[in-house]
Amino acid sequence: MKMYLNRMGHHNKVQYFQLPLSLKNPINILISIHILFFVLYCALGYFGFLEYKINDGETIEQFIQSALGLSFYDTSWQYGLLSVFTYQFVHTNFGEIMLSMIALWIFGHMVAKEIGASKVIFLYLICIVLSASVFILSHFVFTVFSGRCVMEGAYPGALAIMTTSLIFYKSFQIRVYKNISIPLWVICAVIILLSFVFVYKNSIAYILVYVCSVHIGYRFAVNKLSSTVFTKNAIQYSNLRGRLN
């Protein structure tokens, strides 16, 4: 699938890149894993298995929340370290997973064009873990305002990648139809606003997670751009010395 981009004010200079659909692509593999988890969750709900009770009267749905979802108030904490990573795969509503996966697919491949798919996955996973840490620490700092909520879904990682993409392509817009183009920052703003409907929960912990994700994506992009400029200057300096010698 092709996506067309052009710089703001340069409608005639259009460039495009391919949004791969192949499951051999690392980003698409990650997205597929998320979708499979959601389909499995929906299937369990459809056939009524989520209400089945297992240990100590705990239902399967409660087990998924405590074992995979991230909750500061999980009294057992036996899944604490595991849930710092696995909470990303818990998707309980269609709007959340659709928003997260679309952002991860489009912006993930945009960033991958600049730095490669493996580094996109690295950025995503780092943000998932750091966001979980911020979520937990916020309950120590803001014990009154954090609320008793469970963090779930891949949106923190998708938000970091979206922020990185916005820094890389800040002057670009996406062509949606013939001469109609939408600035990239507008698309990002719409996704963030929709996240307050489908993802956000009434907790200051979620606000801090959002801030953490944006900061990670921003710093990652800035560092990459700085290192690229440094490398180009070093090459130019080396070529200049070669010509002088």
Residue that wins the pLDDT comparison between 130 and 17: 130
Taking residues 64-86, report their average pLDDT.
70
Q: Given pLDDT bands bounded at 50, 70 and 90, which one contains residue 145?
A: low
Q: Given pLDDT bands bounded at 50, 70 and 90, which one contains residue 236?
A: very low
Alpha carbon distance 216, 124 (integer Å): 10
Taking residues 73-86, report their average pLDDT.
65
Alpha carbon distance 81, 95 (integer Å): 27
Alpha carbon distance 195, 159 (integer Å): 10
Does the model's pTM come out above 0.95?
no
Asked if the model's pLDDT at residue 189 lies above 60, the reply is: yes
Rounded percentage of the chain residues whose pLDDT exceeds 90: 36
pLDDT of the residue at 99: 93
pLDDT of the residue at 230: 43
Contact 175, 6 (CB under 8 A): yes
Alpha carbon distance 183, 1 (integer Å): 20
Residue that wins the pLDDT comparison between 8 and 197: 197
Q: Given pLDDT bands bounded at 50, 70 and 90, which one contains residue 66?
A: confident
For 218, the enclosing helix (H) or strand (E) is helix 204-244
SS3 call for 53: strand
* Identity of the amino acid at 183: P
For 185-195, letters b (16+ CB in 10 Å) and e give eebbeebbebb
Residue with tokens 């909470």: 87
CA end-to-end span of the chain, whole Å?
A: 49
Asked if the model's pLDDT at residue 77 lies above 70, the reply is: no
Contacts of 43 (CB under 8 A, 6+ apart): none
How confident is the prediction for the chain on average, in pLDDT? 81
Q: Given pLDDT bands bounded at 50, 70 and 90, which one contains residue 147?
A: low
Asked if the model's pLDDT at residue 104 lies above 90, the reply is: yes
Taking residues 144-148, report their average pLDDT.
63
Q: At residue 11, what are phi and psi to the nearest 5 degrees?
A: -70, -25
SS3 call for 21: coil
Contacts of 2 (CB under 8 A, 6+ apart): 16, 17, 18, 19
Contact 104, 35 (CB under 8 A): no
Q: Given pLDDT bands bounded at 50, 70 and 90, which one contains residue 182?
A: confident
